[in-house]
Structure 1
Amino acid sequence: MKILITGGTGFVGSHLRKELLRKGHQLRLLVHRQTDGLEDGVEQVKGDITRMETLGGAAEGCQALINLVGIIREFPSKGTTFQRLHVTATANALAMAREAGIDRYLQMSALGTRPDAVSEYHKTKFKAEELVRASGLSWTILRPSLIFGPKDAFVNMLAENLRLAPVMPVMGDGKYRLQPIHADDVARCFTLCLELPATVRQSYELCGNDRFTYQELLDRIAAAMGRPAPFKPQLPLGLMKLVIPVMQHLPPFPITMDQLQMLLEENICDGNWKQTFNFEPISFEAGIREYLGACHS
């Protein structure tokens, strides 16, 4: 099958390309500019998913479209907004599929996306999902939890902080829970969707088997690096809710109110996705040890 991927040069995209090629699919990526170092045979077409006028013919000859485009943080001064990268991008991806006669469409969403969402991230992810559900295409929506892997942003950021000092400040009590999933497992689910008719017009929440609090996650990252558990001073939520709105507009500041909201909401699921996809996910500790092991720290 020939597949067009939007957002295919990113973190999850790199894992998905590898898995799709392993299964014998042909790949075409929509890119802002030509990217070096991709796998042999991967085709690239230039275009901006947020500008429909740049997308003419990009999907021609493809039998499926996978939309991975998304951001975790806005920078409005640069035009990087949730509305643009989640809602507009999805509307354009769907339009591309329809114009090219593509029926099979896969959408990357996020765990926690729902009608009554509080964060703008989840609100716009839900708007995008609604567009997909109303498209008339043979769609599938995947909602991964926190995704980890060798080039992830979150786990590597925490590990880098631990390399600097064995101190990890925690927002509130740190008892909010997470259930991370490896990028290879997310890629495997996307790929299996193309083979499993039962996944058409279905949504799946994806999470790993390991569920732990944020404080426990920090300890597991330290252990994978061969280091003792860090000191974890608690930052009062009331204070952080005053500081973050003022500081979040500065790119170096590590967290936004949206991200704090999502952290406190927790990031867990029931694991029912395994009944459809029929495999066991990579464990968190084994997965991070491969790229955070003592020899790398």
Structure 2
Amino acid sequence: MASNLETLVTVFGGSGFLGRNVVRALAKREYRIRVAVRRPELAGHLQPLGRVGQIHAVQANLRYPASVEAAMRDSQVAINLVGTLAESGAQTFDAVQAKGAETVAKAAAAAGARMVHVSAIGTDENSPSGYGRSKASGEKAVLAAVPSATILRPSVVFGPEDQFTNRFAALARISPFLPLIGGGVTRMQPVYVGDVATAVANAVDGKTASGATYELGGPEVLTMREIMEVILAITGRKRMLISLPWGLAKMQAMFLQFAPGMLKLTPDQVMMLQSDNVVSDAAKSAGLTLAGLGITPESMQAIAPQYLWRFRAAGQFQRMSV
């Protein structure tokens, strides 16, 4: 482990949901960590994840290349976790996920650093969704600048601070029904945030194939309906699941894209839901998966009760019917 103390890893987007888990995984492996974020004063929660002086936050914005270059100075590894599920002001898909990824990759190349880039399953330059297309542009730019880069594509990520299971559990607390967009038949492979973080740390350790793209999915493929049923079972709520046809969902999203918090739904997100979000057969046969990295993925049923209990009517000690 002593050699890792010599390695400085710069994590772009390290204060978010996936970021804090990546920082924790790297800290355990004794790396020195520089967290590059837009608001370093809001990254104080990362400090207890490592030893004194091990984790240091700096200001960087992917739209300003000079700040990215400064954040990469003397760093041996760059990790890019920056992404957005919904556009907001200057934070467009293209600015953040395409040009932003390219800016980090160019800075990594200039510093002679290795690179780990977190993308997403569903990335496709011909995707009907702007999210999918911008992710594809980002991957292409990363490999052009750093051909040896490792690209990790997770399916939908769950964990204590996620915007996925928590969102539907919160919705179930206030609504008598939950909507199933397109009938809830879209298939997903929910992956635990801790497993994705371990995959990132393994890539930093040099355990991934040079220039390879890995697809990260959990142990089960579930439809959106099945995911909702799991969340309702864990939280002890009985709610109607109502099918929402694609056309109606798109119309609603035109208005809900301006809604706050858990009610927000954009037309682009509806587009994304029209395609399954699962690990491809090609990735499985090539060993470019969590299993290929020696990671046994955790299931949603095993992990989610540890944090969704707070959505139960009587809290942590509510008796659950078996």
Contact 2:190 2:217 in 1 (8 A): yes
TM-score, normalised with respect to structure 1:
0.92
* 1:90 aligned residue (95, 101, 106): 101
* Number of equivalences: 293
1:122 deviates by: 0.5
2:4: which partner in 1? none
CA distance in 2, matches of 1:115, 1:81: 16
CA distance in 2, matches of 1:285, 1:246: 33
Considering only aligned residues, what root-mean-square deviation do their CA atoms show, in Å? 1.9
Q: 1:160 to 1:107 in 2, by over 3 A?
A: same
CA distance in 2, matches of 1:196, 1:54: 27
Q: Is structure 2 residue 36 aligned with structure 1 residue 25?
A: no
Using the TM superposition, name which of 279-288 and 263-272 deviates more: 263-272
1:114 deviates by: 1.9
CA distance in 2, matches of 1:58, 1:259: 32
Q: Is structure 2 residue 125 aligned with structure 1 residue 115?
A: yes
2:290: which partner in 1? 274
2:21: which partner in 1? 15
1:101: which partner in 2? 112
* 1:5 aligned residue (4, 11, 15): 11
Using the TM superposition, name which of 184-193 and 56-65 deviates more: 56-65
Q: 1:8 to 1:264 in 2, by over 3 A?
A: same
Q: Is structure 2 residue 91 aligned with structure 1 residue 80?
A: yes
2:230 is paired with a residue whose SS is: helix
Q: Is structure 2 residue 180 aligned with structure 1 residue 170?
A: yes
AA of the residue aligned to 2:92: T
Contact 1:146 1:179 in 2 (8 A): yes
2:173 is paired with a residue whose SS is: helix
1:174 deviates by: 1.2
AA of the residue aligned to 1:25: Y
Q: 1:279 to 1:54 in 2, by over 3 A?
A: closer
Q: Percent identity?
A: 30
Using the TM superposition, name which of 280-289 and 48-57 deviates more: 48-57
1:250 deviates by: 4.7
* 1:37 aligned residue (26, 45, 64): 45
* 1:67 aligned residue (56, 60, 80): 80
* 2:272 aligned residue (262, 265, 269): 262
Q: Is structure 2 residue 239 aligned with structure 1 residue 233?
A: no
CA distance in 2, matches of 1:21, 1:68: 17
1:138 is paired with a residue whose SS is: coil
TM-score, normalised with respect to structure 2:
0.85
CA distance in 2, matches of 1:239, 1:64: 46
Higher relative helix content: 2
1:98 deviates by: 2.2
Q: 1:45 to 1:176 in 2, by over 3 A?
A: same
Structure 1 residue ranges (4+ consecutive) displaced by more than 6 angstroms after TM superposition: none
1:219 deviates by: 0.8
CA distance in 1, matches of 2:208, 2:38: 34
